[in-house]
Structure 1
Amino acid sequence: MTIYAADALKGEHALITGATGGIGYDTAVTLAEMGAAVTITGRRQEKLQALEQQIKQSNAEASVAVIPADIGSSDEREALVKKEQWKKTERSACL
């Protein structure tokens, strides 16, 4: 049962770390279902690509950017912050 409008977050963007499993995975799916553009990050490229495919199967118009990154590494955190790819809207949430 859905308790939110499918466009509740249209025009919003979320950067989701740890999206390859658990809460991060579920958060990415749910926010994309609510219309948010999502940037998903995690250490495993193949899991990120599988999640991207799942989201796009549910909604072909979903905006999903995939950026492999290990945020446990300060160098990779800095590189992630500098990426323009995920800066899609004026307002972004990092989760």
Structure 2
Amino acid sequence: MLRIVLINILLFLLPFLIYAAYVVWVKGVAANRAMAGAPFLWLILAGLIVLFVGLLTLVEFTGGDREGSYQPSVLEDGVIKPGGIN
């Protein structure tokens, strides 16, 4: 769960990091002043868009087979056999 939260935070902060790197590299501003005067509204919107696209991609391309049927976990001979989608 922590991995997913950290990935979501990174996806949201990605536009901020790219903007700061651009300002430092191209405009030659000191790293500690890179975010002074930044267009925060646009960066927040871009971060939300990147986060939303990332979440949609995660939902679309991960998980089990959508056409299968779910088989719950069962207890056989004192051993739990894990469930899954068949």
Q: TM-score range by the shorter chain?
A: under 0.3
Q: TM-score, normalised on structure 1?
A: 0.23
User: Which has the higher relative contact order, 1 or 2, with Cα contacts under 8 A spaced 6 or more apart?
Assistant: 1
State the structure with more CA Rg.
2
Structure whose residues are more often strand by fraction: 1
Structure whose residues are more often helix by fraction: 2
